[in-house]
């Protein structure tokens, strides 16, 4: 099977174009995403036909679980679809489990270098995130992890996030805290965990513990959730540069209620791999 290795700010994916999902996509993800015995990636992305959009994206984490959405992956899918002639326009719609996403492709000629994604409106109702909090008001609470309590703000960008503001993101035990928060019973579908250091109203530093992956170099939906939480908690403005270990994303929670994300998408290499035994 032919594949393309791609990444958005170091959040990397094995991208495969298929007409239908294979029988056990989770098993393929676990095998191919293994960094020692496979290709190595944070997730396996399938590009499929869609009767509702220009293309469809399905993404499986390195542990085999399926994610509803991924901001970095959808940018890669837009680049893949345009550069391989699946679409001819620089504005297109991608179908995901979280709904339809509109994206605009930047660049020159036949190449795509930067992608802007309409991530939609954030979901703030606890029952829809989901998180076990009382309905009404800001979806914030406290969770125990690594021997102490952490204040968090819950946001869904099509997938669930718990945003934790810290004074020093580099000095935070992202693995220890993130792994415990991810599986806390407060979050029935598990949760992505964002650790945010506020640098100013238009700038934050972010590290992310991704559900099913562990810490990654970047997370598009996590960056969006961090900005939404920053606005709700009075810690940031609505247009923010989000600095992640893999690079910087530009996020805007616009006055129309929708969140817009702009960042790069990069092709690393192409190859072929056989089905696992």
Residue range 48-94, pLDDT digits in tens:
999 999 999 999 999 999 999 999 999 999 999 999 999 999 999 99
3 state SS for the chain: CEEEEEEECCEEEEEEECCCCCCCHHHHHHHHCCCCCCCCCCEEEEEECCCCCCEEEEEEECCCCEECCCHHHHHHHHHHHHHCCCCCCCEEEEEECCEEEEEEEECCCCCCCEEEEEEECCECCHHHCCCCCCCCCCCEEEEEECCEEEEEEEEECCCEEEEEECCCCCCCCHHHHHHHHHCCCCCCCCCEEEEEEEEECCEEEEEEEECCCEEECCCHHHHHHHHHHHHHCCCCCCEEEEEECCEEEEEEECCCCCEEEEEECEEEEEEECCCCC
Binding residues for substrate: 11, 61, 71-72, 159, 192, 210-211, 220-221
pLDDT at residue 183 above 80? Answer: yes
Question: pLDDT digits over 138-176, tens only?
Answer: 899 999 999 999 999 999 999 999 999 999 999 999 999
Structural class in CATH, domain 126-253: alpha beta
pLDDT at residue 277 above 90? Answer: no
Alpha-carbon distance of 241 to 144, in angstroms, equals 29
Query: Which sequence spans correspond to the domains of the chain?
Result: 2-120+263-272, 126-253
For the domain made up of 2-120+263-272, give the CATH fold: Diaminopimelate Epimerase; Chain A, domain 1 (3.10.310)
**Domains 2-120+263-272 and 126-253 agree in fold:** yes
For the segment 101-106, the average pLDDT, to the nearest whole number, is 96
Catalytic positions, please? 70, 219
The model's pTM is 0.91
pLDDT at 136: 87
End-to-end CA distance of the chain: 14
């Amino acid at each position: 099977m032919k594949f393309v290795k791609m990444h958005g700010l170091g959040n990397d994916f094995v991208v495969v174009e298929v007409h239908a999902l294979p029988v056990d996509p989770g098993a393929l993800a676990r095998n191919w995403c293994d960094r020692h015995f496979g290709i190595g990636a944070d997730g396996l992305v399938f590009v499929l036909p869609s009767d509702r959009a220009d293309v469809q994206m399905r993404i499986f984490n390195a542990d085999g679980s399926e994610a509803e959405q991924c901001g970095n992956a959808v940018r890669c899918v837009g680049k893949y679809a345009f550069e391989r002639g699946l679409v001819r326009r620089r504005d297109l719609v991608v179908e995901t489990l979280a709904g339809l996403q509109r994206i605009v492709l930047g660049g020159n000629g036949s190449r795509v270098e930067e992608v802007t994604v309409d991530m939609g409106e954030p979901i703030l109702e606890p029952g829809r995130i989901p998180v076990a909090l009382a309905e009404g008001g800001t979806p914030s609470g406290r969770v125990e992890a690594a021997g102490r309590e952490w204040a968090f703000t819950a946001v869904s960008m099509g997938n669930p996030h718990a945003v934790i503001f810290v004074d020093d993101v580099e000095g935070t035990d992202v693995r220890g805290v993130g792994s415990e928060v991810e599986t806390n019973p407060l979050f029935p579908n598990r949760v992505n965990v964002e650790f945010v250091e506020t640098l100013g109203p238009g700038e934050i530093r972010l590290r992310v513990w991704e559900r099913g992956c562990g810490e990654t170099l970047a997370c598009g939906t996590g960056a969006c959730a961090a900005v939404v939480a920053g606005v709700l908690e009075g810690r940031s403005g609505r247009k923010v540069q989000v600095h992640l270990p893999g690079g910087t994303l530009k996020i805007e929670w616009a006055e129309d209620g929708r969140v817009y994300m702009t960042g790069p998408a990069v092709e690393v290499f192409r190859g072929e791999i056989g089905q696992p035994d």
